[in-house]
Amino acid sequence: MALNELRLLKNINDPELATIDGYERFGGYRAIRKALLEMDADEVLHELEESGLRGRGGAGFSMGKKASFLPKGSMEKYLCCNADESEPGTFKDRLLMQKNPHLLIEGMVIAAVAAGANRAFIFIRGEYELQAEVLDRAIAEAYDRGYLGERILDSDHSVSLVLHRGAGAYICGEETALLDSLEGKRGNPRLKPPFPANQGLNQGPTLINNVETLCNAPAIIERGAEWFKSVGTEKSTGTKLVSVSGNVRRPGNYEIELGMRAGDIVHGLAGGPPEGRRVKCWFPGGSSAPVLTEADLDLAYDFETMAEAGSMLGSGAIIVVDDSVPIVGVALRLAEFYRHESCGKCTPCREGTNWTVKMLERVDTGEATPADLDTMADVQTNIIGNCLCVLGDSMAMPIGSMIEKFRDEFEEHIERARRSNGGLPMAAHGGIADEAIGSPAA
């Protein structure tokens, strides 16, 4: 089921699109005219809610509903764009910000109007230097042309927009950690409730949305909620950017209709694994999503189906692992990532990620026993749901799913590593997972 009309990626490779003139020529900044001059704030909010647009950052919560949670009335309210895209495998927001920055700015003005916010921030990860430069230029252009600032287009709405660069911390993609970081602190998640809609940035009501979510807003306002819903499934409306990476022939960003068969994305769009190899497993929504197997490629790629299959659509990042790759190496890299990125605030996550890495290292070097796999699975269960945020869960879920689905391989790996080391226990050799990538499947 190919998409008839690209929505987010239309004209994306035209270099003019990143300039304000080019963006206007392609029909840009019409939606904010409509939102500011022809509609009132409630109508804008209603249209966003009606569209069924779900957050594209990972949680998949209704964007309009989230905006409606902000208290009404005149007070200092904030809008934050979460552009901290750090989920391994995800690179869609990078593309949008670099090549279509004004789409994000227009979407932010619309969301700010809907939420009644007049101070907006883009929290962009520090590593995205090129994208930050592009956005800085675009914001200056938008101010010049009166799409940002006081009384936009002579309406009653004022929106200021500041680009804020992070400094390298995955946890800042978690919305309350993002707020702490934006307040100039260490990026530690906060206890919820209160939710950011009530107490967010500087204690003020705050709406936080992902880049791709906000980029959908202009078309919804311009062409209506009904048009937006005309593609996708009943509960997963619209199109979605998927970032496909790993062992595929054509890695990249693809815009798809939600509900498309997953196999058509992996094999059709991304070309499938290299010649002679098969899909061993795949992450449907970034590295935090439990892995699915080759058989699951027949499923529809939407929020509900992925959840029913025991995983999640997450940020829409599909990472494909082929059958030449030892699963232990993947699990180890994953656990090391979450250990590095754990902020250390909650014990189950701080200690759980650390011990999981240590146990996986022992699996890799052949020092573990199959009983350790049970301990490891147990540690994962004890992390889930026991922390302020889901960073620990994000390791526990995929690791747990790997142990469950590839238990035999874990056990074989322990045995093979032990034998390759002459059967010596506790030897300080480096493990076998790294060397084995690219060799034929055992």
Residues from 48 through 107 that contact other proteins (CB under 8 A) = 76, 85-91, 93-95, 98
**Binding other proteins by CB under 8 A: which of 358, 405, 407, 416?**
358
Residue 73: helix, strand or coil by DSSP?
Answer: coil
User: By CB under 8 A, which span of 19-27, 32-40, 109-117, 339-347 interacts with other proteins?
Assistant: 339-347
Tell me the sheet residues that pair with 256.
240
Minimal distance, residue 183 CB to other proteins, in Å: 6
Question: Is 231 within 8 Å of 217 (Cβ atoms)?
Answer: no
Minimal distance, residue 196 CB to other proteins, in Å: 15
Pick the closer one to other proteins by CB: 93 or 222: 93
**Binding other proteins by CB under 8 A: which of 434, 439, 441, 442?**
434
Number of residues that bind other proteins (CB under 8 A): 74
- The DSSP symbol for 36 reads I
Minimal distance, residue 267 CB to other proteins, in Å: 14
User: Mask of contacts with other proteins, 131-170, x by CB under 8 A?
Assistant: -------------------------------x-xxxxxxx
Please name the residue that has the structure tokens 């069924």. Answer: 52
Q: Please give the Cα distance from 180 to 311 (Å, whole number).
A: 29
Pick the closer one to other proteins by CB: 127 or 294: 127
Q: Please give the Cα distance from 120 to 280 (Å, whole number).
A: 43
Pick the closer one to other proteins by CB: 99 or 102: 99
Q: Does 347 bind other proteins (CB under 8 A)?
A: no
Q: Does 400 bind other proteins (CB under 8 A)?
A: no
Q: Please give the Cα distance from 315 to 162 (Å, whole number).
A: 24
Residue 96: helix, strand or coil by DSSP?
Answer: helix
Pick the closer one to other proteins by CB: 149 or 271: 271
Identify residue 286 by its one-letter amino acid code. Answer: G
Q: Please give the Cα distance from 429 to 175 (Å, whole number).
A: 41
Minimal distance, residue 390 CB to other proteins, in Å: 17
Query: What CA dihedral angle connects 32, 38, 40 and 42, to 10 degrees?
Result: -80
Q: Does 313 bind other proteins (CB under 8 A)?
A: no
Pick the closer one to other proteins by CB: 43 or 294: 294
Minimal distance, residue 215 CB to other proteins, in Å: 16
Pick the closer one to other proteins by CB: 68 or 181: 181
User: By CB under 8 A, which span of 179-187, 296-304, 378-386, 415-423 interacts with other proteins?
Assistant: 179-187
Question: Is 164 within 8 Å of 208 (Cβ atoms)?
Answer: no
Minimal distance, residue 391 CB to other proteins, in Å: 11
Q: Does 418 bind other proteins (CB under 8 A)?
A: no
Q: Does 277 bind other proteins (CB under 8 A)?
A: no
Q: Chain-centre distance of CA 356, in angstroms?
A: 24
Q: Does 364 bind other proteins (CB under 8 A)?
A: no
Count helices and strands (H / E) in the chain. 18, 11
Q: Maximum Cα–Cα distance for the chain, whole Å?
A: 79
The span from the first CA to the last CA of the chain, in angstroms, equals: 36
Question: Is 63 within 8 Å of 50 (Cβ atoms)?
Answer: no
Pick the closer one to other proteins by CB: 86 or 209: 86
Identify residue 66 by its one-letter amino acid code. Answer: K
Q: Does 268 bind other proteins (CB under 8 A)?
A: no
**What residues from 217 to 256 belong to the interface with other proteins (CB under 8 A)?**
243, 245-247, 249-253
* Crossing angle of the two packed helices 327-341 and 347-365, in degrees rounded to 10: 150
